[in-house]
Amino acid sequence: MSQLIVKGVSKTFGEGESLVHALSSIDLLIEKGEFLAIMGASGSGKTTLLNCISTIDKPTSGDIFFENFDIIHAKENQLADYRANNISYIFQSYNLVETLTVFENIVLPLQIQGKSVRKYQTKINDILEKLSIQNLKRKFPNQLSGGQRQRVATARALIDDSKLLIADEPTGALDSANSESLMTLLQEVNKVFGITILLVTHDPVAAKYSSRMVLLSDGKITDDIERKGLSNEAYLQEIYNRTR
Ligand SMILES: Nc1ncnc2c1ncn2[C@@H]1O[C@H](COP(=O)(O)OP(=O)(O)OP(=O)(O)O)[C@@H](O)[C@H]1O
Ligand SMILES: [Mg+2]
């Protein structure tokens, strides 16, 4: 059973002359632990697809199941639980709170969800260690480099045992060195923590860190390739060939 099942999902915006088919009958099965890159031209439906999965948007028709949970027919309070328990985001700007320390930023999702920080102490230390940021705990965001901010934002996304990490163009505002370090970090986090990642990107160089690439064109999936045993270079070439 796939972790995430997207079945015949369509989404339209507007009506009459301004009707837009943002998604047209999308079928997609995503397995636990996959690192999926979603690519496609501007306006092809990438963000709309993520928004339907994260319940920010509701499809016009079709079904979406996450670990058997029917998110299309769920009640609002069940959806709030679904989002809180399963989904984390990495934002382009990282959204760190400048007046809180690194440690306070990382435990913020736990506090928002009313969970005990003490109970998570072992997990917190484990994440800090795996991301090599133990020594930054008491610093404030404005004392960090770009790469360190990425690591802190990633730690915060991992802290509450979410199963799905969603990132919409996280490298859009980064130079190539920081972009590469974020992607390496996501690849590492995907391997070490087994978290499923859905990454939207325009950049084949960022997409090469994924394990699978799905291409959207005008709201339809027009290509779906897996890395399998390919090296980064061979996989990148394949992505270039498909997205050109
Ligand atoms: N809230 C909305 N109201 C009306 N039309 C919308 C809305 N959101 C998206 N659209 C339209 O749906 C289509 C898909 O948009 P979407 O944002 O999913 O594209 P995208 O692939 O994420 O593009 P980009 O790479 O530019 O972010 C576009 O034609 C867009 O104009
Ligand atoms: Mg978008």
Q: Is the CB of 44 under 6 A from ligand 1?
A: yes
What pLDDT is stored for residue 66 in this prediction?
97
What pLDDT is stored for residue 53 in this prediction?
96
Could you say which ligand is closest to the alpha carbon of residue 45?
A: 1
Q: What is the distance in A from the centroid of ligand 2 to the CA of 170? A: 11
What pLDDT is stored for residue 179 in this prediction?
87
Question: Based on the number of CB atoms within 10 Å of its own CB, is 126 exposed (0-12), middle (13-18) or buried (19 or more)?
Answer: middle
Cβ(12)–Cβ(26) below 8 Å? no
The encoded tokens of residue 218 equal 């005008």
Q: Is the CB of 151 under 6 A from ligand 1?
A: no
Q: Is the CB of 48 under 6 A from ligand 1?
A: yes
Q: Is the CB of 18 under 6 A from ligand 1?
A: no
Average pLDDT for runs of 10 along the chain of length 244: 97 95 98 97 96 95 97 95 91 87 94 90 90 93 90 90 92 83 90 94 95 98 95 95 92
Q: Is the CB of 13 under 6 A from ligand 1?
A: yes
Nearest CA to ligand 1 atom 11: 22
Say how many C-beta atoms besides its own lie within 10 A of residue 175's C-beta: 9
Q: What is the distance in A from the centroid of ligand 2 to the CA of 214? A: 15
Q: Where are the beta strands (DSSP E) in the chain?
A: 4-13, 20-30, 35-40, 61-66, 69-70, 87-90, 164-168, 196-200, 212-217, 220-226
The encoded tokens of residue 111 equal 């506090």
What pLDDT is stored for residue 181 in this prediction?
86
Cβ(38)–Cβ(196) below 8 Å? no
User: Which of 15, 18, 26, 48 should be mutated for ligand 1, with most atoms under 8 A from CB?
Assistant: 48
- Residue-range domains of the chain with CATH: 4-243 (3.40.50.300)
Strands 35-40 and 4-13 turn out to be unpaired
Say how many C-beta atoms besides its own lie within 10 A of residue 99's C-beta: 10
Cβ(123)–Cβ(109) below 8 Å? no
Q: Is the CB of 22 under 6 A from ligand 1?
A: yes
Residue 29 and residue 2: Cα distance in Å, rounded? Answer: 6
Q: Which atom of ligand 1 is nearest to the CA of 14?
A: 4
Residue 19 and residue 184: Cα distance in Å, rounded? Answer: 40
